[in-house]
Amino acid sequence: MRDDRGRLLPGHTANPGGRNGIPPEIRALLNERGGPKAIAKLIELIDHEDPRVATIAARDIADRTYGKAAEAIEVTGGAHEALASWLLGKRDRDEDK
C-alpha cells in the first residue's frame, strides 16, 4: 500500500511474495553436479598466483566450512540503545532456532 505520493507505507512491501526460489529440480541438479565442481574450483584457486584471488577463495572455503564470521557493531546513546536492544534480542532469538 502506498501514500498519495507513491511511497510505501510503513509495514508494507512492494514484493509481498518475496524472492522467487530456485525450482527444486534445478536445486537438486546444482547440488549434484555444480556443488562438487564449485568446491574443486575454489580449492584450485586457493593456490592462485594473484593473492587477491587466493584470499577470496580461502575466505569462501572458510565461510562454507565454518560459517561466516559474526559482524561486530558498536551502538551508543539515545535511540541507538533501543536499536541495540532489538538487534541483540533478534540475535538471541535466531540462535535459539
Q: Tell whether the model's pLDDT for residue 91 goes beyond 70.
A: no
Name which of 28, 2, 32 is nearest 14 in CA terms: 2
Q: What is the dihedral of CA 58, 63, 64, 66, to 10 degrees?
A: 110
For 53-57, 73-77, 80-84, which range has the lowest pLDDT when averaged over its residues?
A: 73-77
Residue 92 scores a pLDDT above 70: no
Q: Look up the pTM and report it.
A: 0.47
pLDDT bracket for residue 2 (50, 70, 90) = confident
What are 67's three cell numbers?
560459517
